[in-house]
Structures are given as C-alpha cells and as structure tokens.
C-alpha cells in the first residue's frame, strides 16, 4: 500500500492551496454562498483550465484518468478552504455515474463537456422515506412509446438547480426495497414535468427536492442496462463517501490549526489557555482522531479502485464510521475550546463545524456504515 503522495499529487495539492489562498477567504466564501447559484461559475471555468474537472475522466474522453486517490487529494484541499463549487455532485457523482454506466456513445457526447466545465450534472438517488437504503426507490419509470414516463420524489438533490442534467434513479421493475429493477436516467433539468423546490443548505450549499410529474425521457437517456443500476449507484456512492471523507480530513485539519492558534493567543487567568492541561489533552484527542482518520481514508481511497465490491464496501464503510466519530469529536471540541467565540458566525470556525456535521448526514451516517461493515465478510 502506497501512503506517500506522488509528485503529481503534490502538484495538485499545491495548486489547490494557491487557488484557495487567493479566492477563499471567509468574506469571499460568504458572498459566494449567498449568490444565486451558491458558487462561482468563473471558478468552475478556472477549475476546468487547471485540469481539476478532467481529473476523474478517462483519457479517451479528454480527461486525465486520475484515481480515487487523486480525487481525495483534491477534496482534502477543498475541505481546507470549504470550497463551494459542486465538484462532489457534478464530478464525483455525476461523472462517476457516467463512467460506470454510460455507453461509449453517451460518454463521447457528455464527458468532454463535463470535463471542460460546460456541463453540470446532479445525481438524484435519495428519496424521502428511504433513509440511507439505496434500494428503496419508489420513483417509477413507466415504459411509454419509445421512452419512459417518470413519476416520484427525489430528496435533497445536491446542486440540482444549477445542473443542466440530473441523473435520476427510478424503478422499472420490482417493488420498493428490491435491488433488482432500478434504472438510471439522464434527465434535462429544464424538461417539462421536472419540478424543483430549491433551497440553501445549513452548510452554505444548495440542494433541491425534485418532484417528477410525468417527466419524459427517451430510451437513449437510459444509462446502463435497464433494471441493473443498483450496483452502479452503490459504487458511485462509495466514491462520494471517499470524497467527503477526504473533504472532512481537510476540514478537521483546519479546525485543529485554528484551535491550536486560539489556545496560544487567548489568555485567561494571566496565561494562554493552552497552558491548561485539560485543554492540551482535548487538543491531543482531536489531533489523534485526525491522524487516524487521514490514514484510514487514504487507505480506503487506494482500495476502491482495485478491490472487488465487498472489499471496497468494507473499506469505504470503515472510513465513513471513522470520519463520523472523529468529525463530531473534532468539531464539537473546536467550538468548546473557543468558548463564546466558538458560537459566533463572525469566525469561519462555525462554517467548518457545520460542513463537517453535514458530512455525517450524507451517504449513510455512522450507524448505517457500522451495520454495513459488520454484515460484510472479512477479506
């Protein structure tokens, strides 16, 4: 197992840092977060120029053919600065679904635009009553003429409103909860019957409820084989988990640095509060949690490219559990050690805490992944 970053990965890391250092101070981020899209399309175009958008795309389709590990490096850098652009939804999930399910023809039509920054995707897989069960798809795709009619409700679809196309899971056979019978469709966001209720998220992003009311797609909009999408969705979500775990690593590191600096600077009882041993130990706990999380996440990222699905699932769920536990420890203690200052919206601290908290709610929480891990055989 390779734990040191390659030269290329180090270059990526540096380019992310130099971008965020210029573009992502707290005020700029806040202004972006309050803008219409909740992110900057100019930044997105810049990401394309820097090759970040092409990172996960196959070379045959104009990308760099990077690995999950490469993407983790990028996401960690995004976490350090709380980057708002929809890399997770459009590239990791949207791009991931295309890579795993689309035909060569669909790929040629879509991937160059995706990597070039001209196409934004969203991935609509969750439903209101499904909790974290990817097989609980109640949205129906009914065959109709040469295509399908879609009916149903997809919940909390990240960055749906700014996406050009939404990749939607819907049932073509079977009942809610069956793994078989789920299909993926590529839907125009602006098509008739696609109704969005868009809203800000607590961490400064955007999402929407997507209600499909007889939305029409053609047979060419089917991604992959009809009824076979469950395994694809699971693989896409596993990639998304690695991405948010890496993002969480970056967030935790920043929180620890901020807290470390605060313990140095804040004086009470005539000395820096960092002199109080009980606070030192709390910071040490945070530091240890971060180190362990980082090691496990990078190990899982390296594993998912190669491993078969059970081993991949175990590695990914292990990372998500570790990040869930570490994230709440690091986030809560960072606030606590800042005292009243930790509660304000005036420090960036709270934004990091909120994003870290939301990562726990995405793609299955700690309980969900602990259960998934326990149910899988050791490999």
Ligand X SMILES: Cc1cc2nc3c(=O)[nH]c(=O)nc-3n(C[C@H](O)[C@H](O)[C@H](O)COP(=O)(O)OP(=O)(O)OC[C@H]3O[C@@H](n4cnc5c(N)ncnc54)[C@H](O)[C@@H]3O)c2cc1C
Check binding of 279 to ligand X (CB under 6 A).
Answer: yes
Q: How far apart are CA 181 and CA 172, in angstroms?
A: 5
Check binding of 278 to ligand X (CB under 6 A).
Answer: yes
Q: Which of 57, 351, 369, 372 binds another protein (CB under 8 A)?
A: 351
Check binding of 343 to ligand X (CB under 6 A).
Answer: yes
Shortest approach of ligand X to residue 337 CB, angstroms? 5
Check binding of 339 to ligand X (CB under 6 A).
Answer: yes
Check binding of 86 to another protein (CB under 8 A).
Answer: no
Residues 300-337: b if buried by 16+ CB within 10 A, e if exposed: bbbbbeebeeebbbbbbbbbbbbbbbbbbbbbebbbeb
Residue 196: partners with Cβ closer than 8 Å, 6 or more residues away: 160, 161, 189, 208, 209, 210, 211
Joined together, the tokens standing for residue 71 give: 């993407």
Q: Which does 371 bind (CB under 5 to 8 A by kind): ligand X, another protein, none?
A: another protein
Other beta carbons less than 10 A from residue 18's beta carbon: 11
Shortest approach of ligand X to residue 276 CB, angstroms? 4
Region of 21-29, 141-149, 163-171, 269-277 interacting with ligand X (CB under 6 A): 269-277
DSSP 85: S
Joined together, the tokens standing for residue 67 give: 């690995």
Burial class (CB within 10 angstroms; exposed 0-12, middle 13-18, buried 19+) of 295: middle
Q: How far apart are CA 106 and CA 221, in angstroms?
A: 9
Return the number of the residue (209 or 291) whose C-beta is nearest another protein. Answer: 209
Q: Which of 105, 340, 374, 378 binds ligand X (CB under 6 A)?
A: 340
Q: How far apart are CA 174 and CA 182, in angstroms?
A: 8
Other beta carbons less than 10 A from residue 5's beta carbon: 16
Shortest approach of another protein to residue 230 CB, angstroms? 17
Shortest approach of ligand X to residue 344 CB, angstroms? 9
Shortest approach of ligand X to residue 262 CB, angstroms? 8
Joined together, the tokens standing for residue 139 give: 């949205």
Q: What is the CA radius of gyration of the chain?
A: 21
Q: How far apart are CA 311 and CA 313, in angstroms?
A: 5
Region of 40-48, 164-172, 207-215, 268-276 interacting with ligand X (CB under 6 A): 268-276
Shortest approach of ligand X to residue 281 CB, angstroms? 10
Return the number of the residue (46 or 370) whose C-beta is nearest another protein. Answer: 370
212-251 mask for another protein (x: CB under 8 A)?
----------------------------------------
Please state the separation of Cα 44 from the chain's center in Å: 16
Region of 10-18, 63-71, 195-203, 239-247 interacting with another protein (CB under 8 A): 195-203
Region of 28-36, 205-213, 261-269, 290-298 interacting with ligand X (CB under 6 A): 261-269
Shortest approach of another protein to residue 303 CB, angstroms? 25
Query: What is each CA distance from 222 to 97, 170, 303, in whole angstroms?
Result: 12, 10, 29
Residue appearing with tokens 């775990």: 245
Q: Which of 53, 237, 242, 273 binds ligand X (CB under 6 A)?
A: 273
Q: Which of 37, 43, 371, 373 binds another protein (CB under 8 A)?
A: 371
Shortest approach of another protein to residue 231 CB, angstroms? 21
Return the number of the residue (30 or 266) whose C-beta is nearest ligand X. Answer: 266
Check binding of 335 to another protein (CB under 8 A).
Answer: yes
Burial class (CB within 10 angstroms; exposed 0-12, middle 13-18, buried 19+) of 294: buried
Region of 48-56, 214-222, 224-232, 266-274 interacting with ligand X (CB under 6 A): 266-274
Query: What's the sign of the alpha-carbon dihedral 234, 63, 80, 319?
Result: positive
In the complex, the residues that contact ligand X under the rule CB under 6 A are 266, 268-269, 273, 276, 278-279, 336-337, 339-340, 343
């Amino acid at each position: 197992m390779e734990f040191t970053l390659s030269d290329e990965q180090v270059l990526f890391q540096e380019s992310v840092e130099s971008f965020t250092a210029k573009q992502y101070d707290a005020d700029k981020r806040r202004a972006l977060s309050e803008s219409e899209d909740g992110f900057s399309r100019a930044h997105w175009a810049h990401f394309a120029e820097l090759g970040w958008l092409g990172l996960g795309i196959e070379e045959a389709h104009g990308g760099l053919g990077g690995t999950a590990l490469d993407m983790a490096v990028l996401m960690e850098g995004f976490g350090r600065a709380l980057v708002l652009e929809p890399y997770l939804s459009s590239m990791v999930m949207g791009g991931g679904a295309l890579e795993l399910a689309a035909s060569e023809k669909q790929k040629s039509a879509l991937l160059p635009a995706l990597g070039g920054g001209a196409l934004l995707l969203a991935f609509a897989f969750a439903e209101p009553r499904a909790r974290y069960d990817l097989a609980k798809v109640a949205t129906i795709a009914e065959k109709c003429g040469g295509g399908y009619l879609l009916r149903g409700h997809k919940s909390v679809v990240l960055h749906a409103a700014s996406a050009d196309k939404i990749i939607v899971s819907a049932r073509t056979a079977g009942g809610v909860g069956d793994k078989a019978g789920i299909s993926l469709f590529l839907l125009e966001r602006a098509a008739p019957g696609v109704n969005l209720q868009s809203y800000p998220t607590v961490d400064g992003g955007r999402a929407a409820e997507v209600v499909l009311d007889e939305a029409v797609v053609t047979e060419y909009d089917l991604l992959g084989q009809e009824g076979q999408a469950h395994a694809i969705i699971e693989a896409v979500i596993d990639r998304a988990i690695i991405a948010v775990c890496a993002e969480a690593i970056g967030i935790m590191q920043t929180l620890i640095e901020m807290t470390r600096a605060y313990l140095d600077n804040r004086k009470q009882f005539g000395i820096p509060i960092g002199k109080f041993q009980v606070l030192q130990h709390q910071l040490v706990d945070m530091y240890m949690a971060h180190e362990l999380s980082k090691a496990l996440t990078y190990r899982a990222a390296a594993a998912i490219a190669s491993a078969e699905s059970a081993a991949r699932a175990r590695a990914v769920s292990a990372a998500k559990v570790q990040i869930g536990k570490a994230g709440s420890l690091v986030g809560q203690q960072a606030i606590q050690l800042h005292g009243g200052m930790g509660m304000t919206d005036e420090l960036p601290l709270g934004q990091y805490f909120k994003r870290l908290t939301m990562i726990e709610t995405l793609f299955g929480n700690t309980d969900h992944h602990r259960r998934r891990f326990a149910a899988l055989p050791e490999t």
